[in-house]
Amino acid sequence: MQLIVADVGGTHTRLAQAEYARGTWQLHATTRYASREYAGLGAILEDWLARPEQSGMKFSGAGMAVAGPVQGGRGRVTNLDWPELDAAELATSAGVPVALLNDFAAVGACLEALTPEDRLILQDGDADPTGPRLVTGAGTGLGTCLVTPPAGADAPPAIHPGEGGHARFSPADADETELAAFVTAEAGRCTREHLLSGRGIARIGRFELQRRDDPELGRALAAAEPAAAISALADTGHAAALRVVRRFVTLYAGQLADMALTALPRGGVFIGGGIAPRWADHFLAPAFREAFRARPPMEDLLERLPVELIIHPEPGLLGAAVAASRARPHGASAP
């Protein structure tokens, strides 16, 4: 089986060939595009299909994951000023049926295809295979998804994408309350995504800078990509940049705990997105687990939940392939 797969984000869009062989999915010819340099996904798809790597390929379908809400074969990228995406129109461009889905629905779908090498255990917990699984991840925005067990023996797990990143941020202490007030003064409100995203890292950096002047952190914040600059500065051991990274990680843990208390994902909590895998060492540190459990009187319950970090390089593309292979896609093959 050969599929076209896409992971469409507010910053980057990736397309690849997905091949199912010998019981596993393999990705080939992965190409990354700067989303804002194109008028829409159709233009990116046209460029990708015209490349030599796709010459002579016989695709049987396509799975396209979108960073935004999707319903009835239509969707929009939340952080990108593109026209609405339509699976039927994309099918005409691709020449194959297209399954259009939310990007974190795709990450939820990828769980079934991950190998042990594709994940890091942050907290062992006590997994219940009959329980739901919570999937979340920070990148350009903050995606969320709940995966529930199959309804029947031959059915796949049910995937329920959400928009939990747009829920209001809930501070855990006076320090976080001060941070939320700082963000609200800048942005008019403070949601989880205002802090747990690439732009959120920059906001945390500005909060740190207004507390303690630091020229190097100031230069990182003035860079074209502040989050990447702060990350690089933290890698050198710079104290202020490390405070930004560690605050991001503990904020992430606390918001995960709040989401977990709502859904009780006894099947596990899975962290994807573009940021966390790059900061795996910080997520493996005790401070993450301590912040995740710090929701009295529910510490024991949270300690029993397995927490894993997805480190597969392309979980969105992998999940788009899994979802497309299961779905009844919109559109029809070209004659």
What are the boundaries of each domain within the chain? 2-103+315-326, 115-311
Give me the residues of the chain with pLDDT under 70, please.
Answer: 328-335
The confidence score (pLDDT) of residue 328 equals 54
* Token couple for 307: 């927490």
Closest to 142 measured CA to CA, from 65, 83, 197: 197
CB atoms within 10 A of CB 223: 14
Nearest alpha-carbon partner for 302 in 315, 293, 310, 313: 293
pLDDT of residue 15: 98
For 111, residues 6+ apart whose C-beta sits below 8 A from its C-beta are 133, 135, 147, 157, 270
DSSP label of 155: P
Work out the angle between the directed axes of helices 226-235 and 239-263 (0-180°, nearest 10).
110
Q: Report pLDDT for 335.
A: 28
Q: Which CATH class is domain 2-103+315-326?
A: alpha beta
In terms of residues, how long is the chain? 335
CA dihedral 61, 65, 70, 73 (to 10 degrees): -10
Residue from 8, 164, 163 nearest 85 by CA: 8
Contact assessment for residue 262 and residue 298, using Cβ atoms and an 8 Å cutoff: no
Q: What is the pLDDT of residue 334?
A: 32
What angle is formed at CA 64 by the lines to CA 108 and CA 152, rounded to 5 degrees? 40
- Full-prediction pTM beyond 0.85? yes
Beta strand ranges found along the chain (DSSP E): 2-8, 12-21, 24-34, 61-66, 70-71, 74-75, 85-86, 98-102, 119-123, 133-138, 142-148, 158-162, 268-272, 307-310
**Alpha-carbon span 195 to 244, nearest angstrom:** 11
Report the alpha-carbon distance of residue 126 to residue 139 in Å, rounded. Answer: 28
For the stretch 114-164, pLDDT in tens is 999 999 999 999 999 999 999 999 988 898 999 999 887 778 899 998 889
- Strands 74-75 and 70-71, how do they pair? antiparallel
Q: How far apart are CA 272 and CA 107, in angstroms?
A: 7
Coil vs helix vs strand at 167: coil
- pLDDT at residue 329 in the model: 52
CATH architecture of 115-311: 3-Layer(aba) Sandwich (3.40)
Amino acid making up residue 34: A
Report pLDDT for 23: 85
Radius of gyration of the chain from Cα atoms?
Answer: 20
Which secondary structure element, helix H or strand E, spans residue 183, and what is its range?
Answer: helix 174-187
- Which tokens sit at 261? 């208390």
The pLDDT of residue 194 is 98
Q: Nearest to residue 139, comparing CAs of 251, 284, 262, 278?
A: 278
